[in-house]
Amino acid sequence: MKLQTIFASALAFAFIQPAAAEGQNPIASGSAMAWQCAPCHGTNGQEFLEAMPPLAGMPAKQFTEAMIAYREGTRPAIIMDRVARGFNDAEIEAMAVWFEKQPVKQWENTSLTESQNAQKANSTGGQK
């Protein structure tokens, strides 16, 4: 009887675990999602053009509020309203945190070593 109970428990566990894992929807890292911003806002958000504000160093709260306003249609936009609709709150927050950590510096003045160090720091949670 004890062996049957163990077998039944193991069998139930095998079926429950995949169902629980399927219910989870992990998000990409903030840096991975931020690459979608690069064509307009530059690599690591470090573009300083008149028409496109830099995202690097932007306070997370400011980024989050702007993206949500774009997504909800309460902030005027030509393109950003459509872009923002592709992200949920958790994804916007992940990008906001990532952009806030980026150095405020024009990309063309950033060395390859600085770029690699920024990527390493962001992938380890700010530790080098």
Give the model's pLDDT for residue 17. Answer: 44
pLDDT of residue 121 exceeding 80: no
Which CATH number applies to 27-123? 1.10.760.10
What does the pLDDT look like over 24-66, one tens digit per residue?
A: 556 677 777 777 888 888 777 877 666 788 898 999 999 999 9
Mean pLDDT of the chain: 75
- CA nearest neighbour of 80 among 43, 16, 72, 15: 72
Question: What DSSP element (H or E) covers 62?
Answer: helix 60-72
Position with higher pLDDT, 34 vs 1: 34
Q: Write down the pLDDT at residue 83.
A: 93
**Angle of helix 112-123 versus helix 89-101 axis, rounded to 10:** 140
**Alpha-carbon span 119 to 113, nearest angstrom:** 10
